[in-house]
Structure 1
Amino acid sequence: MKSFPNAFVIIIGAILFAWVLTFVVPQGSYERITDEASGITRVVSDSYEEAQGKHLSAFEVMLTIPRGIADRADVIVLILLLGGCFYVIEKTGALSQGLNRLVKVLKGREGLSLFIVSLLFTAAGVSIGMQEEVIAMMPVLLIFGKSLGFNTYTTIYMSYGSTVLGSSFSPSNPFGVIIAQQEAGVPLLSGSGYRLVVLGIAFLVWVIYLIRYNTKNRMEKVEVSTPHEKMSLNSKIILTLLGLTFIIVMYGLLQLDWGFMEMSASFFTLGVVSGLLGKLGVNGTGEAYVNGFKEMIFAAMIIGLANSISMVLKEGMIIDSIVYGLFGPLQYLSASVSGVLMMVAHSILHFPIPSYSGQAILTMPILVPLSDLIGISRQTCVLAYQYGAIMGDMIVPTNGALMAILAICGIPYNKWFRFAWKPTVIMLLIGAISILTAVHIGYN
């Protein structure tokens, strides 16, 4: 369907649709309190009340677009600088030489390469909840995939898709599980054994599905062009620095409380050093960075535009009403049914709230007392959140990272959805079975 809207049109349409909803869905809100010591704002359970607030004007809706972009400045800076860094490294020839060596090693072992790459990106999702960072890597990943005969869907699935899987089934995702456990009042990193077992099962099913799909949908291999048969010493140094930078960034995120700005500074430094080592010179390195920015600017803007959707719903005072309508009826159902439907409700809620960390902060204070009332353990309540909300990042069109990646790859959202809904549903089924099992064994 050639006329299907592109990522930009879809996001703008979603913003306008969110505005229409503010006139349809009853306005209301929960009471919120802010902890003075930590600065964290929490929702007060059972405090929802309908309210009559001001409706946004058309101009105010348009204002959410630049405000949404500005509010995600830290992520946009990361995407631009990370994208520029990879572009510089590519211009030095180090990436093409490294890919050529890697392709030779993996020649005839495409199944093994799918497994290894999926495992690496799953580990990144498990440990640091990687997602936006994949955007800048996508051009390189596409080259790698084509050199092994993978189509674009396979490449996205094994990289971005695997980070979503890892983030969703992780026992330690700092932006998902840790925040949800903190809000639920359970010990941080508790219950990890059960989560690891489910993660292992989900990963094996994920990779088997990917390998079967790739076997049926292989494309002709595209040779990686490289000016040198042997990898130069400078290229080896640059690629080593790239690996070290990822290790430093992961350590910073896990141990030093780093954010997007620290990550951006690390990759900017890597890009400058790589350009000089690759003999691009000062001007050549600067020009390569500028060209890298040009490649990433559309993807970066999509991230900011997606943020505007949540702004419209919050300022239109219907986010809390949607939460109340989705989760309120669960108190009248059995524990097993409620646990599974809680996961489904989280998946639905992820459409208007594409930030899964924000979704945890909003919903956990409401769902924890409800879980206690129904007879679901708080750990199981967290499971329902992490499986439902985070796995939704595979398909929700309001997720800026997904739409940015699709824009880079030139894939319309409708075609991606036709591909992605099956593995997403399979993972949600695994999540549902694990929730039913958790309720049965009294997981706590």
Structure 2
Amino acid sequence: MKLKFPSAYTILFGLIIAVAVATWFVPAGQYDREMSETLGKEVPIPGTYKTVEPNPQGFSDVVLAPIAGFFDPGTYEARAVDVALFVLIIGGFLGIVTRTGAIDAGIERAMAAMRGREKWMIPILMALFAAGGTVYGMAEETLAFYGLIIPVMIAARYDAVTGVAIIMLGAGVGTLGSTINPFATVIAANAAGIAFTDGILLRFVLLILCWLACVVYVMRYAEKVKANPSASIVADRRESNEAHFLKGREAAAGNHQLDFTLTRKIVLLVFVLAFAVMIWGVSAGGWWMAEMSGLFIVAAILVGVIARMSEEDFTNTFVDGARDLLGVALVIGIARGIVVVMDAGNMTDTILFWAEGAVSGLPAIAFINSMFGIEVALSFFVPSSSGLAVLTMPIMAPLADFAAVPRDLVVTAYQSASGLVNLINPTFAVVMGGLALGRVPYERWLRFMWPLLLILTVIIMAAISIATLLN
């Protein structure tokens, strides 16, 4: 019997169990904390680590962890339940729009206009997502775009992995090379006691180099798949993915195009405007999950009115669309359960204390690269970029002074490590949710990503090493 790689649910439950087991062996400890007026959050105080009463996690803790993961915000900007509800509403909205045929008619016209030049959509879209990542840490918001981008890529004779890579790598590499991202660079710089503009030139260089590497990598893969569909890492799912993502295409079996009626044009305009308003709301209007969810409810109702759907047809279609993304919503909560168990077991500060001891006394080059490696390891346990900054920067940044390394390089090492890991991190709800939306199994995403991860790691380590030498 052929062994099959477990699903995302099994992987995440396995990680929850593994972390719970670790709480029985890893010493429990905590730093004292104080409120930072600059950050508005409690931060650990260097030199105050002490062991505390162990709180090993048992069977009931493991069972309840995914449930607690939905409701406990921890160091995240949003609770998992807020993100999960947003995903379900997006599913309902996409179900309504798909029912009208507007997306499919629009895709057909776009493909006809781009025929022979489809590959240039990849760098353009990845640049837009990277801009969102570097400016405001675009992450959960990307979940809204999978239903838009993946059908376009499949219609262009690429595959679902190409669509996932455009979104996840685009926004992810932007976060890796954050320049003014308030949820990563600004918080980390404040916690490190420096201006967030310190080291911005190096971060721009990292952003450009890593973006170029990702674009070339994705374009080469996409062209290979287009020339030989069997080269896709999800080739066995091609037919089912086409049926799923292009399910509204009434003319799929024929050679004629869908009629691009005035109604469909207006629906498509509303569709595009909804995403434009979301981007404005998050970047300039202070919106978050509740406001974004409300936006797509209003947009869905507006599309239903324009398409003259009956009340029964509208509600049934909306619920069916939400049902399609129910698995994604569950994955988001389960992923957060891992951090819940680790925090409850008082492991997080102990791991940070070990990291503090590992870099103390190292020479400059060894220090900055060790710092990067430690932040990589910590990122698996603390996928929130702001959470990792608040946790590690007050402890790790002062150590740079003893190694004669500028603190801005520690900030750059932290944010590039966090961004790199969050391209594949199974504890990061955006990764597992995005893969579920794209119908790409986690182990195949790892197979796609590992050469690129090595390339990005070399670029990052070379950049921070050269910057240290030039200091």
Q: Give the one of 272, 281, 284 matched to 1:255.
A: 284
Letter in 2 for 1:264: S
SS in structure 1 opposite 2:336?
A: helix
Distance verdict in 2 for CA 1:119–1:36, change over 3 Å: closer
Distance in 1 of aligned mates of 2:37 and 2:154: 53
SS in structure 1 opposite 2:43?
A: strand
Alignment-derived partner of residue 193 in structure 1: 201
Letter in 1 for 2:23: T
1:78 CA displacement: 1.4
Q: Give the one of 249, 274, 282 matched to 2:303.
A: 274
Alignment-derived partner of residue 89 in structure 2: 81
Letter in 2 for 1:286: T
Alignment-derived partner of residue 232 in structure 2: none
Distance in 2 of aligned mates of 1:36 and 1:132: 27
Distance in 1 of aligned mates of 2:293 and 2:173: 24
Which string of whole-angstrom CA distances, capped at 9 and with x for unpartnered residues, describes residues 34-88 of structure 1? 2479741111112112223232332133222211122321111211112221221
1:310 CA displacement: 0.6
1:326 CA displacement: 2.5
Alignment-derived partner of residue 12 in structure 2: 11
| 1:310-325 paired onto structure 2 within 5 Å | 310-325=339-354
Distance in 1 of aligned mates of 2:310 and 2:467: 59
Distance verdict in 2 for CA 1:404–1:255, change over 3 Å: closer
Structure 2 contact 199–412 (Cα < 8 Å) conserved = no
Letter in 1 for 2:125: V
Distance in 2 of aligned mates of 1:78 and 1:190: 36
Distance in 2 of aligned mates of 1:430 and 1:303: 31
Distance verdict in 2 for CA 1:92–1:327, change over 3 Å: farther
1:45 aligns with 2:53: no
Distance verdict in 2 for CA 1:114–1:2, change over 3 Å: farther
Alignment-derived partner of residue 233 in structure 2: none
1:2 CA displacement: 5.0
Alignment-derived partner of residue 27 in structure 2: 26
Distance verdict in 2 for CA 1:92–1:35, change over 3 Å: same
1:417 aligns with 2:446: yes
Q: Normalised by the size of structure 1, how large is the TM-score?
A: 0.93
1:204 aligns with 2:212: yes
Letter in 1 for 2:164: I
Alignment-derived partner of residue 128 in structure 2: 120
1:107 aligns with 2:115: yes
Letter in 1 for 2:359: L
**Pairwise CA RMSD:** 2.2
Structure 2 contact 90–322 (Cα < 8 Å) conserved = no
- The total of aligned residue pairs comes to 442
Which string of whole-angstrom CA distances, capped at 9 and with x for unpartnered residues, describes residues 158-217 of structure 1? 121211111111212232222212222222445433322321122112111222222333
Q: Give the one of 160, 164, 169 matched to 2:168.
A: 160
* Unaligned segments of structure 2, at least 5 residues: 73-79, 230-237, 252-256
Structure 2 contact 28–55 (Cα < 8 Å) conserved = no
1:415 CA displacement: 2.1
1:15 CA displacement: 0.4
Higher mean C-alpha deviation, range 304-313 or range 251-260: 251-260
Q: Normalised by the size of structure 2, how large is the TM-score?
A: 0.88
Distance verdict in 2 for CA 1:37–1:326, change over 3 Å: closer
Structure 1 contact 88–289 (Cα < 8 Å) conserved = yes
1:384 aligns with 2:413: yes
1:403 CA displacement: 1.6
Structure 2 contact 20–58 (Cα < 8 Å) conserved = no
1:97 aligns with 2:98: no
Distance in 2 of aligned mates of 1:333 and 1:198: 24
Letter in 2 for 1:334: P
1:98 CA displacement: 1.4
Distance in 2 of aligned mates of 1:235 and 1:189: 46
Letter in 2 for 1:361: V
* Unaligned segments of structure 1, at least 5 residues: none
SS in structure 1 opposite 2:23?
A: helix
1:265 aligns with 2:294: yes
Distance in 1 of aligned mates of 2:385 and 2:30: 20
Distance in 2 of aligned mates of 1:87 and 1:424: 35
| 1:49-64 paired onto structure 2 within 5 Å | 49-64=50-65
Structure 1 contact 180–361 (Cα < 8 Å) conserved = yes
Alignment-derived partner of residue 77 in structure 2: none
Structure 2 contact 102–267 (Cα < 8 Å) conserved = yes
Distance in 2 of aligned mates of 1:293 and 1:317: 37
Structure 2 contact 8–432 (Cα < 8 Å) conserved = yes
Distance in 2 of aligned mates of 1:341 and 1:37: 28
1:420 CA displacement: 0.7
| 1:351-390 paired onto structure 2 within 5 Å | 351-390=380-419
Alignment-derived partner of residue 436 in structure 1: 465
Structure 1 contact 275–284 (Cα < 8 Å) conserved = no
SS in structure 1 opposite 2:180?
A: coil
Higher mean C-alpha deviation, range 15-24 or range 48-57: 48-57
1:70 aligns with 2:71: yes
1:346 aligns with 2:347: no
**Aligned residues with identical type, % of pairs:** 29
Letter in 1 for 2:210: A
SS in structure 1 opposite 2:194?
A: coil
1:140 CA displacement: 3.7
Distance verdict in 2 for CA 1:372–1:281, change over 3 Å: farther
Distance in 1 of aligned mates of 2:207 and 2:250: 38
